[in-house]
Amino acid sequence: MQASPDTRITILDRSIPLYAAKGYSGVSMRDIARAVSISPAALYHHFPNKQALYLAAMERAFADKALTITATVRSEGTALQRLENFIERFTRLMADDPDFRMLLQRELLDGDQQRLRLLVDRVFAEPFTAVSELALELAPDCDPHLMTISLAGLVLFHFEAAPLRQFLPGMRAEHDQPEVIARHIARLMTRALESR
């Protein structure tokens, strides 16, 4: 049976929030079949096994974001402008897609080496390389790998810590706004780089 592109996309789109909410281990093929209103046997016509479905769902959830990040970093402008654009775009992506954020957090916590390697190979390698090249351009004497990880971490931690941040002294409602977070991180990075 040839897999219908529409059915395949529906399967992927409906499996993403399930995996975000429950993780790889918490979602069965039967759960996904039920969410798509098809039989488990029909689901196996589209995906040979759970891992293939999961990786395809992860790739679908991350691919457009990876392309956007890569294009943003490699666009026209000075290195500092491209850095600010990257921070703004990455922050907006994190804010606008909680399923994406949760999938990423779950993968990091699960630590499955095979899935992480496939995600890097299929999705993260090119945007990471683009940001690393920008980091090297901005700070040739810094380790571009560590700088790229630090940039991503600065953005991600604001969202990961949101449940806790609301109770910390000095918290204001605007601190949850993506543009405020992005401006803050860009200002920190710009000042650090200009003071070198």
What's the confidence (pLDDT) of residue 181?
Answer: 97
- Residue that the structure tokens 């691919």 belong to: 63
CB-count exposure of residue 130 (10 Å: 0-12, 13-18, 19+): buried
Q: What is the b/e burial string over 179-195, where b = at least 16 CB atoms within 10 angstroms of the residue's CB?
A: eebbeebbeebeeebee
| Residues 67, 132 contacting (CB under 8 angstroms) | no
Exposed, middle or buried, 48 (CB in 10 Å: 0-12/13-18/19+)?
Answer: exposed
Domains, the chain, ordered by start: 58-194 (1.10.357.10)
pTM for this model (two decimals): 0.86
> Which one-letter DSSP state was computed for residue 120?
I
Q: How many whole angstroms separate alpha carbon 47 and alpha carbon 175?
A: 42
- The average confidence (pLDDT) of the chain is 92
pLDDT (tens digit per residue) in 50-59: 989 998 998 8
Residue 4 pLDDT: 66
Better pLDDT: 39 or 2: 39
Buried b vs exposed e over 112-125: b needs ≥16 C-beta within 10 Å?
A: eeebeebbeebbbe
| CA distances for 154 relative to 48, 108, 135, 139, angstroms | 38, 16, 14, 17
In angstroms, the first-to-last Cα distance of the chain is 61
> How does pLDDT run across 78-115, given as a tens digit for each residue?
999 999 999 999 999 999 999 989 988 898 888 989 88
Residues 137-157 have pLDDT tens digits of 999 999 999 999 999 999 999
CA atoms of 72 and 128, how far apart (whole Å): 12
pLDDT at 3 over 60: no
* Mean pLDDT along residues 111-138: 92
pLDDT confidence of residue 45: 93
Query: What pLDDT, in 10s, does the model give residues 12-41?
Result: 999 999 999 999 999 999 999 999 999 999
Separation between Cα atoms, residue 128 and residue 144, nearest integer Å: 10
